[in-house]
Amino acid sequence: MSTRHATRQTADELVALLGPGPCRTQRACEAGISPGRLRAAVRAGTLLAPHRGVLLPASTLAAAPTDRARHLIAVRAALLVAPAGSVTSHDSAGVVNELARPAAGYPDVVHLDVPGEPARLRDGIRIHESALHPDDVTVVDGIATTTVVRTAIELARGRPLPSALIPLDSAMRRLVASAAPGIPVRTAVGRPALVASVRDQLRLGLQHVYGWPGTVVVREAVELADPAAESAFESRSRGWFIEAHLPAPQLGVQVQGADGRWYWVDFLWETYGVVGEADGWGKYGTTLPDMTARFRAEKERQEAIEATGRRFVRWTTDEARDRVIARVRGALAARVPARIVANSSR
């Protein structure tokens, strides 16, 4: 038997005995795999050692379908070597809780809150020094983590308003959806009582970090957060409009086109007859056939809406803040309150 085949067999045996996730070296040995075989598999690359005393089958990482899945593997490995009571926090908790985060991409380190430990970065783990209220901790898919509320507050702390709105909007949307199972999210976010209840949860979470640095803007952002925002770019754009003192738009509403069909739009300034779209390129797909079909459908959608007398304004993720604000301000200034053919509804 070749060395490569033997080490792959060791990795397969480990998966069969303990599952595909990261595990402690001690558990592997207790399961009957000798330290020598484990070391050989690590040298051959069929087993990975992300931390001292932790093993991970290379096949598990290779099979992870998304960046989120890969980060969750890193989180589980880090928690194996973290002190008792450690919980995933900050950007990593954002990944666990599936919140939109101000930072682009996925974290290159694992973020943990560790009780009684000083803040530091070591071996790919960023330890944060912060006190946790018992209500701020939960478990998601077996991972100890800060709650949606606490995570959103931590991600918003110390950031300007447009960035702070990103996790807070996302948290509100998640909480509204959880509070209204069986109801479409786009419907649930339009129910004032649900939204008010969720906002109260964020206010309560803020009490747990009262007086902490970076929370002044968070307090403002909590009052402005809107679960109707469907993407980080929509949240950031709305923050720009607030800072620029533009008229407040409605978010995530339906408008009827001249063709009689109803279309969802990101922003609507109904009084001005202006529709705004915060376009991320991802919505158009990645293959040429998908992109062609979606561009055509989007063109037809815009034409149907414009035919009602409304004006369309688009901006993309690669455009500068001031340019977007100027274009939206210009569109609003050019429109006096006018009669619009179609109605709008949430």
32-90 confidence digits (pLDDT tens): 999 999 999 999 999 999 999 999 999 999 999 999 999 999 999 999 999 989 999 99
Least reliable range by pLDDT among 166-175, 233-242, 337-346: 337-346
Q: Please tell me whether residue 330 adopts helix, strand or coil conformation.
A: helix
Q: How would residue 271 be classed by pLDDT, with cut points 50, 70 and 90? A: very high
Domain ranges of the chain: 3-63, 80-156, 161-230, 244-345
Question: Residue 150 phi/psi, 5° resolution?
Answer: -65, -40
Q: Which residue has the higher pLDDT, 115 or 243?
A: 243
pTM for this entry: 0.90
Which residue is listed with tokens 């507050």?
Answer: 153
pLDDT at 295: 77
Q: How would residue 5 be classed by pLDDT, with cut points 50, 70 and 90? A: low
- Mean pLDDT over all residues of the chain? 91
Count how many residues are written for the chain.
Answer: 346
Q: Is the confidence at residue 127, as pLDDT, over 80?
A: yes
Average pLDDT over residues 14-22: 90
Find the helix or strand (DSSP H, E) in which 77 lies.
helix 67-81
Q: Is the confidence at residue 275, as pLDDT, over 50?
A: yes
CA nearest 194: which of 205, 208, 184?
184
Total Cβ atoms within 10 A of residue 309: 14
CA nearest 93: which of 110, 108, 69?
110
Average pLDDT over residues 105-115: 93
Q: Is the confidence at residue 339, as pLDDT, over 80?
A: no
pLDDT at 3: 55
pLDDT at 336: 61
Average pLDDT over residues 265-279: 94
Q: Is the confidence at residue 4, as pLDDT, over 60?
A: no
Q: Is the confidence at residue 341, as pLDDT, over 50?
A: no
Give Cα 217 distance to the centre of its chain.
20
Segments in 189-231 forming alpha helices (H): 192-207, 216-224
Question: Residue 283 phi/psi, 5° resolution?
Answer: -70, -15
Report whether 65 contacts 36 (CB < 8 A): no
Least reliable range by pLDDT among 7-16, 26-35, 220-229, 266-275: 7-16
Q: In what order do the strands lie in the sheet with 262-269?
A: 311-316, 274-279, 262-269, 250-256, 344-345
Average pLDDT over residues 156-185: 97
